[in-house]
C-alpha cells in the first residue's frame, strides 16, 4: 500500500478542514480551563466550548470548540522534541505535506507568549487562518493554536474574542513525567520463535489449483454476481471437507460431485464481513482425486469501507458504483488460505465500460448491451490479496520496459496527458526494478484510476494496481531532490513506483508484508537516486529515519520482523521507514557490488513457504562469505536503535574518547567515522572505529585542543546521541 507518511507525521495533529457556516456570536472570555499536567490555565468564552481530547501517549492534543466541525477552535498541544525536532519549523513541513497547495505561510518570527520566549506562526489554509505559538520547555514543545474562518478573523469582535483567549493564557511549565515510550524488549531469539510459530502451517489437505471466474458488474444497480468453477485435488486420503473464504458477498449455490453439502458462517473480525465456506463430500475424496466445484456468490450493494488506523488514508476496499467500480481487499470469490491458484477471470460490464484486472487479456467479447473482458493468469504463487478489478468508462495509455513488460494505465476521458506521465514513470521504475530483481514472471501490469466514495486508495494486487484521485494529479514537474517523499506531488509520483515494486516483492516473490512494504520505500529512494543523485537519496533516507524516530517517540517500538508490529500505532514508522534505513546501512556496510549480488540472489532463490527475512539473511551470508545473522538480528529482529553517550578528555597530544551504549538491549555492532575537531576550521582528525561492546575507549593522536568529538558525523547510522557534548 501507499506509504503515505502524511498520516504518520501528522499523527494526532489538529489539521482539520474548515467548513464555512454562519459566524458564531462574539464570545466573552469567562469560562476557565486548567490542566496541571501541561501546566496551563486560560479562559474560554463560555461553556459551549467543548473539549475534544485527541492525545496519544506523551503527545497531548486538546481541542476546544463550540462547533462540531471545529471551524473555530483553540488547541493546546504538547509534543516530545523527538516528534518535532525543530518545533514549528518541523510542524510547518508536516502541515504543508498534509494540506498541499492550500497552505500559505503568512509569518513566522521569534517573540514572546505567556511571558516566555516563543515563536509565532501564522498561516492560511483554504478559507481558514491559524495562529500558533510554540514554547520550548525541557524535553517538550508547548504549542497553542487559534483557528477560525478568514471571514471571522476580519470581524473586529470575533477577532478580539479569539485574541482574548490567547491573552488570558498562563503557562507554568510542563509537569508530565516519563516522556519516553517503552520499546518492546523481546530478544532476537524470541522474535525468531514468534515468527516460526506464526508461520507454522498445518499440512495442506487439498490443492485449489484453478479458478475459472465469470463476474458480472452492474454499476447502475451497484451489484456484483460471480460464478466460480474451482478445481480441487485431495492431498490426503479420505478428504471429507474443505474450507474456503469469502468476504461481504453471499454464497448462493455450491455444486459438484453428486452428493455434497455446504455451510457458510461468519469468520474472524465481523467488520470485514469474512465468511468461512465449508464444503463436505458425502463420499470422501481419495488421495490425488480431483473434482470440479461451482460456487456462486453475489452482492446487491457491493461496498466495504473500514476506518482503520494502520493505513488511515484508505477506507474503501471495494465498491460497485456508476463512475468507478473496483475491488482490492474484498474476497468476492472463494479462496483457500494459501491463495495461489491459477486464475481465469471473465469480467462483464455495460457497453462503454472497460473492465481491468491482472493477467493476460485473451479476449474482448461484444455481447450487444454488455462487453466481456477475459484475463488469464497461469502463474501460481502465494498471494497476499485476491485478484482485484476496476471498471469505468476508461481511456488508456501503454508503454514497455526493457525486458518487454507491458505497462498500461487506465483513466477517465480528459486524463490522457496524466496517463502518459504515469506510463513514463512506470517504465522508468520497471527498468530499475528489473535490474535489481530480474524480470517479472508475467508480461502485463495494469494501473487503474479509481474514485472511492471515501478517502483515498493505492493498492497493489496480482498484476494490477489501483490509484485514487488524490494521487492522480499532474506529476510532470515533480522534484524529489529535497528527499521529502511525503509531499503531495511526490506521493502522486512515488505511489506508481511503490505499488509497482510490490509486483516483485509481494507477488512474484511472496515476501512477508512487513518486509515488502519497507522494501518498496527503499526502491522509491533508489528511484530518487536515479533521478536526482546521491545527495537526494541520502536526504530521503534521513527523512525516513526522522519519521521512524518520531513515530516511536509516541508509540511502542517493535521489531520489524515481530508479528506484533501490526499492533503498535508506530507500525508505519517502523515497517515503512525503519526498513529502508536499515537496508541502506547494509548497502553501506557491504558496498554496492556485494549488496546487490545478495539482493538479486534473495529474489532469484526464493522458495514459497520460506520466510523472507531468513532468505535475505542467507543470501547476503552466501554472497559475502560472512555470517550476517548478527546484522539481521540487531536491526530486524529487535526493537529500537543504539543510544550512544560520547565523552572525551585531552591528554597532551592525544584525545581519549569513550563511547557508551546506554540502550536497554544488548550492544550493537557499529562501524563508523569518529571525527575530532578543534576551534579552527582546518583542525580535524578522523578515524574509522568499530563498536561492539557496552563501552569502547579510543586514544587518538590529536595535535590541537579538541573542542568536540562526533561519531558518524554524516549520520549514516541509525542511532540516538544522548547527553550530547
DSSP state of 678: -
For residue 29, report the phi and psi dihedrals to the nearest 5 degrees: -55, 120
477 dihedral zone (left: phi>0; alpha: psi -120 to 50; beta): alpha
Q: Name which of 496, 452, 445, 447 is nearest 471 in CA terms.
A: 496
Q: 356 and 373 in contact (C-beta within 8 Å)?
A: yes
Q: What are the sequence ranges of the domains in the chain? A: 5-171, 206-508, 513-635, 643-721
Mean pLDDT for the stretch of residues 285-308? 94
pLDDT number for residue 725: 52
Q: Which CATH number fits domain 5-171: 3.40.250.10, 3.40.1000.10, 3.30.390.50, 3.40.50.1950?
A: 3.40.1000.10
Kindly tell me the number of DSSP H helices and DSSP E strands found in the chain.
Answer: 14, 37
Does the structure show a pLDDT above 70 at 296? yes
Find the length of the chain: 725
Measured between alpha carbons, how far is 480 from 315 in angstroms, rounded to an integer? 28
* Confidence label for 311 from pLDDT (cuts 50, 70 and 90): low
Half-sphere exposure of 581 (CA within 13 A, CB side): 26
Does the structure show a pLDDT above 90 at 724? no
Does the structure show a pLDDT above 50 at 17? no
Averaged pLDDT of the chain = 92
Does the structure show a pLDDT above 80 at 722? yes
Extract the runs of DSSP E, i.e. beta strands, from 309-358: 316-319, 325-327, 342-350, 354-356
Alpha helices, H only, 485-575: 488-502, 513-532, 534-554, 571-572
Helix H or strand E encompassing 424:
helix 416-437
Measured between alpha carbons, how far is 580 from 587 in angstroms, rounded to an integer? 10
Q: Which CATH number fits domain 643-721: 3.40.50.1820, 3.30.1360.200, 3.40.50.11890, 2.60.40.1840?
A: 2.60.40.1840
Does the structure show a pLDDT above 50 at 422? yes
C-alpha cell of residue 112: 514572546
Q: 247 and 304 in contact (C-beta within 8 Å)?
A: yes
Q: Name which of 451, 560, 431, 403 is nearest 500 in CA terms.
A: 431
Alpha helices, H only, 100-168: 150-153, 156-167
User: What's the whole-model pTM score?
Assistant: 0.86
Does the structure show a pLDDT above 60 at 7? no
Does the structure show a pLDDT above 80 at 25? no
Q: 485 and 528 in contact (C-beta within 8 Å)?
A: yes
Alpha helices, H only, 555-689: 571-572, 579-590, 592-605, 612-624, 629-635
C-alpha dihedral, 491 to 496 to 498 to 502, nearest 10°: 160
Measured between alpha carbons, how far is 83 from 174 in angstroms, rounded to an integer? 16
Does the structure show a pLDDT above 80 at 1? no
Q: Name which of 389, 527, 392, 366 is nearest 463 in CA terms.
A: 389
pLDDT number for residue 12: 29
Predicted confidence (pLDDT) per residue in 116-157, tens digit: 999 999 999 989 999 999 999 988 999 999 999 999 999 999
Predicted confidence (pLDDT) per residue in 221-234, tens digit: 999 999 999 999 99
Predicted confidence (pLDDT) per residue in 473-488, tens digit: 999 999 999 999 988 8
% of the chain with per-residue pLDDT over 90? 83
Measured between alpha carbons, how far is 64 from 34 in angstroms, rounded to an integer? 13
Measured between alpha carbons, how far is 392 from 353 in angstroms, rounded to an integer? 5
* Structure-model confidence comparison of residues 126 and 18, the more confident one: 126
Helix (H, G, I), strand (E, B) or coil at 93: helix
* Structure-model confidence comparison of residues 16 and 105, the more confident one: 105
Half-sphere exposure of 401 (CA within 13 A, CB side): 24
pLDDT number for residue 307: 74
Q: Name which of 122, 119, 123 is nearest 133 in CA terms.
A: 119
Mean pLDDT for the stretch of residues 387-402? 98
Q: 192 and 611 in contact (C-beta within 8 Å)?
A: no
Q: Matching CATH topology for 206-508 and 643-721?
A: yes
pLDDT number for residue 474: 95
CATH code for the domain defined by 206-508: 2.60.40.1730
Does the structure show a pLDDT above 70 at 21? no
Predicted confidence (pLDDT) per residue in 245-263, tens digit: 999 999 999 999 879 999 9
Q: 206 and 233 in contact (C-beta within 8 Å)?
A: yes
Measured between alpha carbons, how far is 568 from 571 in angstroms, rounded to an integer? 5
% of the chain with per-residue pLDDT over 70? 94
Q: From the CB of residue 137, how many other CB atoms can be counted at a distance below 10 Å?
A: 19
Amino acid at each position: 500500500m501507499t506509504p503515505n507518511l502524511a498520516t504518520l507525521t501528522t499523527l494526532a495533529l489538529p489539521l482539520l478542514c474548515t467548513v464555512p457556516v454562519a459566524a458564531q456570536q462574539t464570545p466573552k472570555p469567562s469560562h476557565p480551563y486548567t490542566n496541571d499536567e501541561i501546566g496551563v490555565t486560560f479562559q474560554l468564552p463560555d461553556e459551549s466550548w467543548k473539549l475534544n481530547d485527541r492525545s496519544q501517549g506523551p503527545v497531548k492534543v486538546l481541542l476546544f470548540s463550540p462547533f462540531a466541525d471545529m471551524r473555530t477552535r483553540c488547541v493546546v498541544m504538547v509534543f516530545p522534541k523527538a516528534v518535532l525536532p525543530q518545533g514549528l519549523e518541523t510542524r510547518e513541513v508536516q502541515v504543508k505535506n498534509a494540506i498541499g497547495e492550500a497552505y500559505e505561510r503568512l509569518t513566522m518570527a521569534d517573540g514572546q507568549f505567556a511571558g516566555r520566549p516563543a515563536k509565532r506562526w501564522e498561516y492560511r489554509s483554504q478559507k481558514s487562518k491559524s495562529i500558533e505559538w510554540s514554547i520550548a520547555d525541557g524535553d517538550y514543545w508547548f504549542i497553542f493554536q487559534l483557528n477560525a474562518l478568514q471571514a471571522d478573523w476580519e470581524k473586529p469582535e470575533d477577532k478580539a474574542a479569539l485574541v482574548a483567549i490567547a491573552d488570558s493564557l498562563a503557562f507554568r511549565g510542563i509537569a508530565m513525567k516519563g516522556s519516553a515510550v517503552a520499546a518492546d524488549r523481546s530478544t532476537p531469539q524470541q522474535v525468531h520463535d514468534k515468527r516460526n510459530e506464526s508461520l507454522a502451517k498445518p499440512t495442506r489437505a487439498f490443492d485449489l489449483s484453478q479458478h475459472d471466474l465469470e463476474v458480472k458488474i452492474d454499476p447502475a444497480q451497484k451489484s456484483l454476481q460471480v460464478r466460480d468453477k474451482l478445481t480441487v485435488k485431495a492431498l490426503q486420503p479420505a478428504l471429507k471437507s474443505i474450507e474456503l473464504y469469502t468476504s461481504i458477498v453471499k454464497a448462493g449455490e455450491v455444486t459438484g460431485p453428486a452428493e455434497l453439502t455446504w455451510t457458510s458462517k461468519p469468520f474472524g473480525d465481523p467488520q470485514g464481513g469474512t465468511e468461512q465456506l465449508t464444503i463436505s463430500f458425502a463420499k470422501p475424496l481419495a488421495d490425488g482425486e480431483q473434482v470440479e466445484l461451482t460456487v456462486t456468490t453475489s452482492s446487491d450493494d457491493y461496498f466495504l469501507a473500514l476506518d482503520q488506523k494502520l493505513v488511515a488514508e484508505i477506507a474503501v476496499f471495494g465498491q460497485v458504483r456508476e463512475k468507478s467500480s473496483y475491488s482490492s481487499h474484498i474476497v468476492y470469490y472463494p479462496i483457500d488460505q494459501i491463495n495461489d491458484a491459477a486464475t481465469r477471470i471473465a469480467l462483464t460490464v455495460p457497453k462503454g465500460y472497460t473492465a481491468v484486472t491482472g493477467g493476460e487479456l485473451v479476449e474482448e467479447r461484444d455481447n450487444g448491451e454488455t462487453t466481456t473482458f477475459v484475463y488469464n493468469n497461469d502463474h501460481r504463487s502465494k498471494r497476499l490479496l485476491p485478484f482485484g478489478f476496476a471498471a469505468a468508462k476508461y481511456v488508456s495509455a501503454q508503454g514497455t520496459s526493457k525486458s518487454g513488460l507491458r505497462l498500461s494505465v487506465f483513466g477517465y476521458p480528459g486524463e490522457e496527458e496524466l496517463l502518459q506521465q504515469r506510463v513514463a514513470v512506470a517504465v522508468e521504475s520497471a527498468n530499475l526494478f528489473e535490474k535489481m530483481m530480474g524480470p517479472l514472471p508475467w508480461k502485463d501490469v495494469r494501473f487503474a484510476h479509481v474514485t472511492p466514495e471515501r478517502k483515498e486508495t493505492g493498492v497493489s494486487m496480482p498484476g494490477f494496481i489501483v490509484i485514487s484521485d488524490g494521487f492522480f494529479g499532474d506529476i510532470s514537474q515533480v522534484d524529489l531532490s529535497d528527499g521529502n517523499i511525503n509531499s503531495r506531488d511526490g506521493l502522486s509520483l512515488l505511489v506508481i513506483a511503490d505499488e509497482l515494486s510490490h509486483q516483485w516483492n509481494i507477488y512474484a516473490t511472496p515476501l512477508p508484508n512487513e518486509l515488502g512494504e519497507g522494501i518498496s520505500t527503499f526502491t522509491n529512494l533508489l528511484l530518487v537516486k536515479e533521478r536526482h543523485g546521491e545527495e537526494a537519496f541520502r536526504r530521503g533516507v534521513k527523512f525516513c529515519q526522522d519519521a521512524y524516530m518520531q513515530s516511536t517517540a509516541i508509540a511502542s517500538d517493535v521489531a520489524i520482523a515481530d508479528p506484533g508490529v501490526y499492533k503498535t500505532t508506530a507500525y508505519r514508522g517502523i515497517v515503512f521507514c525503519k526498513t529502508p534505513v536499515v537496508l541502506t546501512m547494509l548497502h553501506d556496510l557491504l558496498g554496492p557490488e556485494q549488496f546487490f549480488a545478495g539482493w538479486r540472489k534473495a529474489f532469484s532463490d526464493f522458495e514459497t513457504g520460506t520466510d523472507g527475512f531468513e532468505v535475505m539473511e542467507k543470501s547476503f551470508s552466501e554472497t559475502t562469505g560472512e555470517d550476517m545473522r548478527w546484522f539481521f538480528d540487531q536491526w530486524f529482529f529487535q526493537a529500537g536503535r543504539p543510544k550512544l553517550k560520547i565523552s572525551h578528555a585531552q591528554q597532551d597530544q592525544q584525545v581519549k574518547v569513550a563511547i557508551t551504549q546506554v540502550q536497554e538491549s544488548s550492544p550493537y555492532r557499529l562501524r563508523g567515522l569518529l571525527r575530532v575537531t578543534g576551534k579552527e576550521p582546518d583542525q580535524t582528525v578522523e578515524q574509522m572505529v568499530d563498536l561492539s561492546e557496552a563501552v569502547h575507549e579510543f586514544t587518538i593522536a590529536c595535535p590541537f585542543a579538541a573542542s568536540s568529538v562526533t561519531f558518524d558525523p554524516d549520520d549514516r547510522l541509525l542511532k540516538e546521541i544522548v547527553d550530547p557534548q
